[in-house]
Amino acid sequence: MATTELMKEIIATYQRHGWTLRRVLARPETLAAVSQSGDFFGEAQTLESDFDAVWFARASHEQREAWELRLIAEQRYALFEAFEADEPEEDREEARLEMENRMRAHVTPDASASS
């Protein structure tokens, strides 16, 4: 399945389950392909990356906010974190960056050995 079609399918599935697309991490070639097939990211922030993944968020139990980073691949792989309502945005962003680095290490295992 083409990356853009897989991305559309993943986004639609998450949205059916109450998740909101917040960010898109995509390789330059993926961004070029997506721009040709129409904008389906809505208001999500788009960031160039060395792997393709999407960030979703939704309300969680006990007034927490859940964030999930889903790899764009046939093989399902995602990382999840729930943030406290009063957790500073700076701490949230640090946790999200750590999750992106974990995802990057999963996608390119050799990358973690060279850093």
Provide the residue range defining the domain that includes 8. Answer: 3-110
Domain count, the chain: 1
Does some domain include residue 115? no
pLDDT tens digit string along 103-112? 999 998 775 5
pLDDT tens digit string along 55-91? 999 999 888 999 999 999 999 999 999 999 999 999 9
Does some domain include residue 19? yes
For residue 88, CA distances in Å to 26, 85, 94 come to 26, 9, 10
